[in-house]
Amino acid sequence: MQMTFRWYGETDPVTLSHIKQIPGMQGVVSAIYDVPVGEVWPREKITELKQKINEAGLTFEVVESVPVHENIKLGGSDAPRLIENYCENVRRLGEAGVKVICYNFMPVFDWLRTQLSYELPDGSFALSYFNEDLLQRNPLQSELSLPGWDESYTKDQLRDLLSQYADVNEEKLWSNLQDFLHEVIPVAKSAGVKMAIHPDDPPWSVFGLPRIITNAENIDRFLRMVDDPANGLTFCTGSLGASAQNDLPAMIRRFGGEGRIHFAHLRNILRIGEKQFIESSHRTTDGSLDMYEIVKSLVDCGFDGYIRPDHGRMIWGEQGRFGYGLYDRALGATYLNGLWEAIQKERGKTV
């Protein structure tokens, strides 16, 4: 296992030297943020980013994310050109030593929350999701954007995009995903890169849009579409765990056992009813997910990929990018390292 931390580049209030000071931190997960979605990333930008991270004593082997252009998800007429650009990015990242690319195939919206600063009883602030609040919102009335998104839209762009999705049901989205995988996976394979799809967050339909990477059955269907280790998963516990139907340790044993989990986002959430949750601290007793069982399942299937503590709360007065502050994510990494060491030693393995 390699412990990593997401970093948003020079504009991120969290610095590389702070990240390096977190015990056991080996690498940074980042991306090129100033090239429009669908375009090819210049080699110099990739090299410069890698150099900066390496100079801080950290590796750069995971990219999160190379976003998939909406016209690929829509199956638009320019999808072949956009997929070719995507393949070129995969080749260039492979040349730069990147081993895993995280991406998602969620229409229009990336992860969605209804509150970015939900105050917990201890005075810390967390991201939260209440479906009732979402249903009361009309995405066309307010400009929706979240700090973790790769793209945000103006009202006009959003209206246009949502109308284009009117004909895209789940089966159509599956078929567009298949077209994407058929082109991208062989390129990834020869570039020495493993593609790792991020599950839909939350794992249900929002604003009537289809969402398909949501449960074990659908993940199995996804893996079979191109049955190759280069076609794998980012196992995000907070996303999949928002649905009580998902048995996360069982899913890890099943898909990790097949060598298809390349990257894990480990965080806890507190489910407080159907389609309602708060992003709690990482500790098992603070949320609904058994983090011990989750880490144990990863150890037991011989997981040797990358892990990162996912979102954290805002604590100790920190101001910054919601979900991506330094302190609580650093505590999360330390907790996960502790679980990892204990379970490895319990199994008679070295850490």
Residue 69 annotated to the active site: no
Please choose, out of 162-170, 172-180, 264-272, 290-298, the segment that lies near Mn ion by the rule CB under 5 A: 264-272
Catalytic residue among 198, 301, 306, 327: 198
SS3 state of residue 264: strand
The pair of structure tokens assigned to 347 is 């199994």
Residues 267-326 that bind Mn ion (CB under 5 A): 310
Task: Calculate the CA 303 to chain-centre distance.
Answer: 18
CB of 140 closer than 8 Å to CB of 155:
yes
Q: Which is nearer to Mn ion, 87 or 236 (CB)?
A: 236
Q: CA 253, CA 314: separation in Å to the nearest integer?
A: 32
Catalytic residue among 110, 265, 306, 328: 265
DSSP string, 17-56: HHHHTSTT--EEEE---SS-TTSPPPHHHHHHHHHHHHHT
Q: From the CB of 70, what's the least distance to Mn ion, in Å?
A: 20
Q: From the CB of 237, what's the least distance to Mn ion, in Å?
A: 8
Q: Which is nearer to Mn ion, 310 or 328 (CB)?
A: 310
Catalytic residue among 324, 327, 328, 335: 324
SS3 state of residue 318: coil
Q: Which is nearer to Mn ion, 40 or 270 (CB)?
A: 270
Which positions ≥6 away from 17 have C-beta within 8 Å?
56
69 is a contact residue toward Mn ion (CB under 5 A): no
Q: From the CB of 263, what's the least distance to Mn ion, in Å?
A: 9
Q: Which is nearer to Mn ion, 33 or 316 (CB)?
A: 33
Give the chain's length.
351
Residue 182 annotated to the active site: no
Q: From the CB of 216, what's the least distance to Mn ion, in Å?
A: 17
Q: Which of 261, 73, 112, 266 has the alpha carbon at shortest distance from 201?
A: 112
The crossing angle, in degrees rounded to 10, of helices 170-191 and 216-225 is: 50
Residue 198 annotated to the active site: yes
Residues 228-257 that bind Mn ion (CB under 5 A): 236
Residue 310 annotated to the active site: yes
265 is a contact residue toward Mn ion (CB under 5 A): yes
Catalytic residues: 198, 236, 265, 310-311, 324
Interacting residues toward Mn ion by CB under 5 A: 236, 265, 310
